[in-house]
Structure 1
Amino acid sequence: MKNELDSKFLLKVFDKIRQHGKKDGEKYQLNGITAFTDLEGYNVFVEDAKTKLQFGFHNQYHFDYPNQDAFDQFEKKLKQIDKEY
């Protein structure tokens, strides 16, 4: 399954999760979404219980999810965070 990613949208939502989310170690959690980076900060990870997104250097990204419904729910959560915060 191929999905297009708007990198500006993702980074904006990632920043909102870091600003408004609850910090747990090096991870931030907001509205069922967890966001964190690797040690160097080059890779961004955004995930929920079923869907994982790795976004890295040169706008390369990889989604991992079991089915389209899981992806759709993940995308809905990201859009809701963007809208609410």
Structure 2
Amino acid sequence: MKNSLDSKMILRVFEKIRQHGEHHDDGSYHLNGIKAFTDFDGYTLYLEDALVKLSYGFHNQYHFDYDSPGNYESFEKKLESIDKEYE
């Protein structure tokens, strides 16, 4: 299965989670089951739920970590939902 999320959408969703999500003491933000945070220098963004982890860094490179295609599809739907809901 090819992971084909649009880089611009990833950045939009990350910012929407920061704007509308619940801020936690560890510096992360949570919205609709997705956790968003950065590394210490802010160059790598992370979006994750209980089953999928996405890291997004320089030059629009991203990496997914998940066990099954169904987990990825569910994660993708959550991201798309946040992108549409918070326009």
Residues 1-85 of structure 1 aligned to structure 2 (within 5 Å): 1-25=1-25, 26-85=27-86
Q: Report percent identity of matched pairs.
A: 61
RMSD, matched Cα: 0.9
Q: Tell me, what secondary structure is at the counterpart of 1:58?
A: helix
Q: 1:68 corresponds to which letter in structure 2?
A: P
Equivalent residue pairs, number: 85
Q: What does the per-residue CA deviation read over 1:41-85, in whole Å, with 9 as the maximum and x for residues that have no partner?
A: 100000000000000011111000010000000000001101111
Query: Cα distance, 1:10 vs. partner?
Result: 0.3
CA distance in 1, matches of 2:2, 2:82: 23
Gaps of 5+ in 1: none
TM-score (norm 1): 0.96
Q: What does the per-residue CA deviation read over 1:5-60, in whole Å, with 9 as the maximum and x for residues that have no partner?
A: 31100000000000000001200000000000011110000000000000001111
Gaps of 5+ in 2: none
TM superposition outliers: structure 1 runs of 4+ over 4 Å? none
CA distance in 1, matches of 2:11, 2:28: 15
CA distance in 1, matches of 2:2, 2:84: 25
TM-score (norm 2): 0.93
Q: Tell me, what secondary structure is at the counterpart of 1:46?
A: strand
